[in-house]
Structure 1
Amino acid sequence: MDQTVFFDALRQGLWVAVITSTPILAVALVTGLVIGLFQALTSVQEMTLTFVPKLGAIVVVFWLSMGFMSQTLVAFFQIHLIPLIAGG
């Protein structure tokens, strides 16, 4: 395998990882900011107050975006990696 092909496949794989992780990371960021603002405004410093809602939001977004993530990963494997493995 040529180095150019290897690095191109690696670049595309990293891009797929970024695309599939963006919804979960964005929701975790927004939820953390909202809860942090709430804690700063009310002076409530409870650790479970940050963890449980953030975990719930992540689970909901993961459940909603599972189809998109699966389609993106399967398309990447079918279009890019399987032809490279087969030697095409």
Structure 2
Amino acid sequence: MNAVDALDMVQEAIWTVIVASGPSVGVAMAVGIAIALMQALTQVQEMTLTFIPKIVAILLMILVTAPFMGAQLFSFTEHMYAKIETGF
């Protein structure tokens, strides 16, 4: 294994993490913006109001997208094992 192979592996690992976590991060951002807008309009600055809906939305999104995330991680793992098996 040389430096190019190592960089390819790291790049693929980072891309897999970005793709797998993208839906959850997107929902967290959307819920956060909606709550911030609501707080700005009503001038209610309660700290728990921001955390609880985000946590619930992220957990629901993880439940919905768990098969997709698992498939991404499985595909990455299979690809890495195939590279190890063939000697890069």
Q: TM-score by structure 1 length?
A: 0.93
What does residue 82 of structure 2 align with? 83
Q: What's the offset of the Cα at 1:83? A: 2.1
What does residue 16 of structure 2 align with? 16
C-alpha separation in 2, matches of 1:69 and 1:54: 19
Letter in 2 for 1:3: A
Aligned partner of residue 60 in structure 1, secondary structure? helix
Letter in 1 for 2:82: P
Identity of aligned residues (%): 37
Q: What's the offset of the Cα at 1:8? A: 0.6
C-alpha separation in 2, matches of 1:73 and 1:51: 28
RMSD: 1.0
Aligned residues: 87
Which runs of no fewer than 5 residues in structure 2 stay unpaired? none
Letter in 2 for 1:82: Y
What does residue 34 of structure 1 align with? 34
